[in-house]
Amino acid sequence: MGELTIRSATEQTADFLREEILRGTWQGTMPGQNALVTQLGVGRDTVQEALKLLEAQGMLESRGAGRRRRIVVPEKQKRFGMQINMILYERDDSSHRLILELRRQLESAGHTLNFTTKTLKDLRQNPQKVARVVRSKPADAWIVNGGSRPVLEWFARAKVPAFALFGSMTDLPIAGTGPDKLPALREALHCLQQRGDRRIIMLVREEARKGKPGPFLKAFLEELERIDIDAGHYNIPDWEESPKGLSACLDAVFKITPPTAIIVEDPVLCLAVRNYLAEKRGAALRQVALICADQDPSLSWCWPTIPHMRWEHQAAVRRVVRWVNKVGRGKGDRKQKLVTAEFIGSD
């Protein structure tokens, strides 16, 4: 084990300022000490010592008392980062831990990541509306979070480099990553078959229900047929995408043919369904098998734990960062690399 090194506040502040200088945050001269103290939230003495340290390292040049320091960065140390725009599926995705970690790693690599004001939900996954947003927000490359098939088809044809983070990317000439949930789905359905469940429904977002089923829904329907369940619209009910619409959908399916198992596309919907079962169907909460087709720390805090599909988020983040770095070096990359998910049952 290497020796533990504890860095002083001055050294940490100098490291931060050095990264910002190399990233091009400031040009020509540094901000004044007062501005840096306010921005960084550290003491004046710490900022002053950090600036002196950068002077000693040759990155800053003093121009005398009362004048801002000149930035002097050797050409070989400069970073020419990429300007990346990301269009999110919905607004709350900006605070998802995967997106936060992706932003941190991209910025650490010298790139800049910006989110568009409008999301794919705002734009109704309409390729023409998405195209207008892309044309109005110039960038070196785009990341599309949860794009529908038509949206990703447009990006695959566009001249600007684009990366599909989740979404209906299969067989399209566009780079992408996300979880491969098919093995986990088959295991989950096998567990339900062992339980004797016959009335199994899956709740998914609107774009997944429209048009030709994607690989996940197709595998779901095929697995139901394999275990001698006649699959149809009952198994993938349509619903208005709102809390009221979700409740109305569940009211309808429980009124006619109550499901014995519900597979939900994402943690947000899963917790909404669990709340519905607890509030409106108390007995069903104990009888209905509820499975989330994704993962979130909140699921582990439910008791009993909600069965879910777990996959390594960090692997997806690394894939995106590698793609951005390749594009920055002028290398084309349209490979799709999925991360295998595993089914985690209840305790």
Beta-ladder partners of 175: 163
Q: How confident is the model at residue 247, as a pLDDT?
A: 96
Q: What does the block give as tokens for 68?
A: 């801002």
Among 40, 61, 77, identify where a domain stops.
77
Q: Is 344 within the bounds of a domain?
A: no
* Number of domains forming the structure of the chain: 3
CB contact set of 133 (below 8 Å; sequence gap of 6+): 87, 116, 118, 123
Query: Do 205 and 304 sit in the same domain of this protein?
Result: yes
Q: How confident is the model at residue 211, as a pLDDT?
A: 77
Query: Do 294 and 328 sit in the same domain of this protein?
Result: no
Among 77, 94, 115, identify where a domain stops.
77
> Contact at 8 Å (CB) between 205 and 242?
no
Which of these, 309, 314, 285, 287, lies nearest to 299 by C-alpha position?
Answer: 309
Q: Is 99 within the bounds of a domain?
A: yes
Q: What does the block give as tokens for 227?
A: 């275990």
Q: How confident is the model at residue 4, as a pLDDT?
A: 43
Among 57, 77, 97, identify where a domain stops.
77
Q: Is 347 within the bounds of a domain?
A: no
Query: Do 88 and 174 sit in the same domain of this protein?
Result: yes
Query: Do 223 and 327 sit in the same domain of this protein?
Result: no
Structural domain that includes position 15: 9-77
Q: Is 1 within the bounds of a domain?
A: no
Query: Do 56 and 90 sit in the same domain of this protein?
Result: no
Residues 221, 224: Cα–Cα separation, whole Å: 5
Q: What does the block give as tokens for 108?
A: 């650490």
Q: Is 277 within the bounds of a domain?
A: yes
Digit-by-digit pLDDT tens for the chain (347 residues) are 344 445 688 888 988 888 788 767 787 899 999 999 988 888 999 999 999 888 877 788 888 888 899 988 665 555 557 899 999 999 999 989 999 999 988 887 788 999 999 999 999 999 999 999 999 999 999 999 999 999 999 999 999 999 999 999 999 999 999 999 999 999 999 999 999 999 999 999 988 888 788 899 999 999 999 999 999 999 999 999 999 999 999 999 999 899 999 999 999 999 999 999 999 888 777 889 999 999 988 888 888 889 999 999 999 999 999 999 889 888 888 999 999 999 999 86
Tell me the H-state helices in the chain. Answer: 9-23, 33-40, 44-56, 97-108, 127-136, 149-157, 182-195, 206-209, 215-226, 243-256, 267-280, 282-287, 297-300, 313-328
Beta-ladder partners of 113: 84
CB contact set of 299 (below 8 Å; sequence gap of 6+): 267, 270, 292, 305, 306, 308
Q: Is 346 within the bounds of a domain?
A: no
Residues 13, 23: Cα–Cα separation, whole Å: 15
CATH number of 61's domain: 1.10.10.10
Residues 47, 10: Cα–Cα separation, whole Å: 7
Q: Is 345 within the bounds of a domain?
A: no
pTM, entire model: 0.75
Q: How confident is the model at residue 1, as a pLDDT?
A: 38
* Tokens 């990541």 -> residue: 113
Q: How confident is the model at residue 12, as a pLDDT?
A: 86
Residues 174, 194: Cα–Cα separation, whole Å: 39
CATH number of 320's domain: 3.40.50.2300
Q: Is 234 within the bounds of a domain?
A: yes
Query: Do 204 and 297 sit in the same domain of this protein?
Result: yes
Query: Do 149 and 212 sit in the same domain of this protein?
Result: no
Query: Do 169 and 193 sit in the same domain of this protein?
Result: no
Q: What does the block give as tokens for 109?
A: 């690599």
CB atoms within 10 A of CB 81: 20
Query: Do 190 and 289 sit in the same domain of this protein?
Result: yes
Q: What does the block give as tokens for 344?
A: 């985690």
Distances (CA, A) of 296 to 82, 241, 303, 319, 332: 30, 21, 14, 20, 33
Query: Do 141 and 50 sit in the same domain of this protein?
Result: no
Query: Do 198 and 289 sit in the same domain of this protein?
Result: yes
Query: Do 165 and 213 sit in the same domain of this protein?
Result: no
Q: How confident is the model at residue 79, as a pLDDT?
A: 54
CB atoms within 10 A of CB 34: 10
